[in-house]
Chains A and B, each alone.
Chain A
Amino acid sequence: MKQTELAVPAVNKRYKKSPERPLGSRRILALILLGSTLLSCTQDPADRLPQATVFAEPRLLPEFELLDHTGAAFTRESLAGQWSLVFFGFTHCPDICPLTLQKLALARRQIAGDGGVVPEIVFVSVDPARDTSDAVAAYVSAFGEGIRGAVGDIDALNVLTTALGIFHDRPRNADGGYSVEHSAAVVLIDDRARYHALFSAPHDVQSIVTDLALITSNE
């Protein structure tokens, strides 16, 4: 990475240290300029706008019925009581799904370390033909604590994905198999089971951490 060098004027040792003298108007002006520069550099991150799309009026999710990775019911009520970062994917996905879950797990870990509002991570499979509760349970176990898997048939999935504007499809390949296409976005559900914000891809761990702190502090 290219580094930017600060232009620091060299000290001219020929000059002797100037005697103490009262602050002149030029020095006061210089100090004000320096102070304002430092202030702008140390702006609280919480003052910035989130990069996520945050809804002015969070939308209550419809009732839906899926199963979580333990085989227990996973419904709208399951999402109430904690904030959740929800990602849609499939376990046969070797690239973007583990990459995204890895970033969410890292964000969650950082938030926990910062003492913030720690979200649950929810991985919803959009590949019902291959992804059972057991398959998803094994898959999510690789990403540490605080992650829940969810499965369901297409109709059950569509109740949730339609409400969230999440696209998913399984077009046939020439070889008779199929590929899975899905929205790469991460959805933020608040602790009242409302669709609160949307993180578009590509995802950045630090942006998620900062945005979540910003969003949850405003609640």
Chain B
Amino acid sequence: MKRFGMAAIIASLVAGCEKPPNVPVEVSEVAVYAPLPGSKMSAAYFVLYNNSDEPITARRFSSPQFASVELHETTTKDGVARMLRLQELVVPAGSFVALREGGKHLMLIGADDSLGLGSTVSISIGYNETGRLIINAPLRARFELDEAH
């Protein structure tokens, strides 16, 4: 019985480590921030992996919890910060692109009033002709207010 229990634990650990087969596109390090008080804008960050043998191009972004979702990039040149809207995100075959704070990000515009910290939001990333990846993530705080005091 004891041995069976150990085997079951090992099996579940192995299953947890395995990637689903044939996943061409996936994300990690997802961070979706709650809009700051008084603002209906926010941003999402993640690393987008392309496990396939062909480059992918992501162009369609949406979320049922936001009026629109756009791909943007913050650039700081000569000390001036600008935010540029990008039309597409190309991820080479077998590679990844990181969306990070202060760089590329998904801009989440027009937040639903019902959203709050911990609310789960769903973000759809459409790539190539028909590909689609859904990210489900809870809204995080930008800054832990309690620790600030």
For A102, list chain B residues within 8 Å (CB): 142-143
Known A96-B74, A139-B36, A202-B102; judge A181-B80 contact (CB<8 A).
Answer: yes
Asked if B33 and A98 make an inter-chain contact with CB atoms under 8 angstroms apart, the answer reads yes
How many residues of chain B are within 8 Å of chain A by beta carbon?
Answer: 29
Cα A84 to Cα B145 in complex, Å, equals 20
Instruction: Say yes or no: B145 contacts A144, CB within 8 Å.
Output: yes
Q: Which of A133-175 contact B (CB under 8 A)?
A: 134-139, 141-145, 167
Contacts of B11 in A (CB 8 A): none
Question: A183 near B80 (CB under 8 angstroms)?
Answer: yes
* Interface assignment of A216: CB less than 8 Å from any CB of chain B: no
Give the number of A-B contacts (CB < 8 Å): 96
The interface bits of chain A over 96-120 (1 if a CB of B lies within 8 angstroms of the residue's CB, else 0) are 1011011001000100000000000
Residues of A close to B141: CB separation below 8 A: 142
| Closest chain B residue to A97, Cβ basis | B81
Q: Which residues of B contact A179 (CB under 8 A)?
A: 82-83
Q: A residues touching B (Cβ–Cβ < 8 Å)?
A: 91-96, 98-99, 101-102, 105, 109, 134-139, 141-145, 167, 179-185, 200-202
Q: List 11 A-B contacts (CB under 8 A).
A: A94-B39, A96-B74, A96-B81, A102-B142, A105-B143, A139-B36, A139-B38, A142-B145, A144-B143, A167-B80, A184-B76
